[in-house]
Amino acid sequence: MRDNRKKDELEICCPTCGFKPDSHDRWMCVCMHAWNTFETMGRCPNCRRLWKETQCPVCHKWSPHHKWYRYNLPESDEEEEKEDLYEYEIA
């Protein structure tokens, strides 16, 4: 994984339908606190519960929270990473 990724390369979207939440979207915890789950990496700031899955408000599917985070790398970087992965897998 690359260490020199910029924050603006990060994209947050539903891995199932592609919905992209904005800063105004909110999720409800079992403690009834509403917050933007992506501001805290899935941890409720009220009760500290860590949500390992997040439900999409559009398609209503649950997905692992970490799968909502994607990096938009330039095409050449993606190809380079695929080559590195291939070399690692066959080594």
pLDDT in tens, 31-64: 999 999 999 999 999 999 999 999 999 999 999 9
Residue 82 lies in a domain: yes
Is there a domain that residue 4 lies in?
A: no
Read off the amino acid at residue 4: N
In a domain, 46, yes or no: yes
- The residue segments making up the domain with residue 77 are 9-90
Q: State the alpha helices, DSSP H only, in 1-91.
A: 75-90
Q: Is 43 within a domain? A: yes
Task: Identify whether 59 is part of a domain.
Answer: yes
Segment 5-38, tens digit of pLDDT: 555 588 999 999 999 999 999 999 999 999 999 9
Please state the domain count of the chain.
Answer: 1
